[in-house]
């Protein structure tokens, strides 16, 4: 009889599933900001000016040609995806976080994990500064085919 009472008592009370994630935390552990803008040093949305900064775009082109062109073209598939219209589908902050933090993005971000199914080479870290990453974005903005 004592065992029956223990079983009944154990069945009463809080029935919440304690193994599920809290409602305010995403299943993959990313914040809403990280989902949209990526994981990396840029933790606030990067705002672009209304006009393209030509000097910054030239610097970005130089960095792109030296560090990125081996794997990325602007308008065709290569080792990595084409980047000519990347700012139409991803935020500047996402692009900059991808440039600055490719390993963690590949490990944790669902968009990048999906891209790895199509382009199975993880982008290597290029030792690009925040200023250079911003310049690459300005170049991509100017080079949009």
CATH code at position 77: 1.10.760.10
**123 closest CA partner among 93, 98, 97, 140:** 98
Domain annotation covers residue 4? no
Secondary structure of residue 88 in the 3-state scheme? helix
What are the counts of helices (DSSP H) followed by strands (DSSP E) for the chain?
Answer: 8, 0
20-77 pLDDT, tens digit each: 444 454 578 999 999 999 999 999 999 999 999 999 999 999 999 999 999 999 999 9
Domain annotation covers residue 59? yes
**144 closest CA partner among 70, 61, 67:** 61
Domain annotation covers residue 30? no
76-107 pLDDT, tens digit each: 999 999 999 999 999 999 999 999 999 999 99
* Domain count of the fold of the chain: 1
Domain annotation covers residue 34? no
| Domain that residue 122 falls in | 51-145
Domain annotation covers residue 62? yes
Domain annotation covers residue 24? no
Domain annotation covers residue 40? no
**54 closest CA partner among 116, 142, 144, 145:** 142
Domain annotation covers residue 120? yes
d(CA 91, CA 9): 53
- For residue 7, pLDDT over 80 is answered with no
């Amino acid at each position: 009889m004592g065992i029956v009472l223990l079983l009944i008592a154990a069945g009463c009370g809080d029935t919440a599933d304690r193994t599920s994630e809290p409602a305010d935390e995403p299943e993959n552990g990313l914040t809403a900001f990280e989902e949209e803008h990526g994981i990396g040093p840029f933790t606030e949305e990067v705002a672009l000016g209304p006009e393209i900064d030509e000097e910054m775009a030239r610097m970005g082109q130089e960095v792109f040609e030296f560090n990125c062109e081996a794997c990325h073209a602007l308008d065709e598939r290569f080792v990595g995806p084409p980047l000519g219209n990347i700012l139409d589908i991803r935020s500047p902050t996402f692009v900059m976080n991808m440039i600055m933090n490719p390993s963690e993005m590949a490990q944790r971000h669902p968009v990048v994990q999906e891209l790895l199914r199509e382009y199975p080479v993880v982008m290597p870290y290029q030792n690009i500064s925040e200023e250079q990453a911003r310049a690459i974005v300005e170049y991509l903005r100017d080079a949009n085919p």
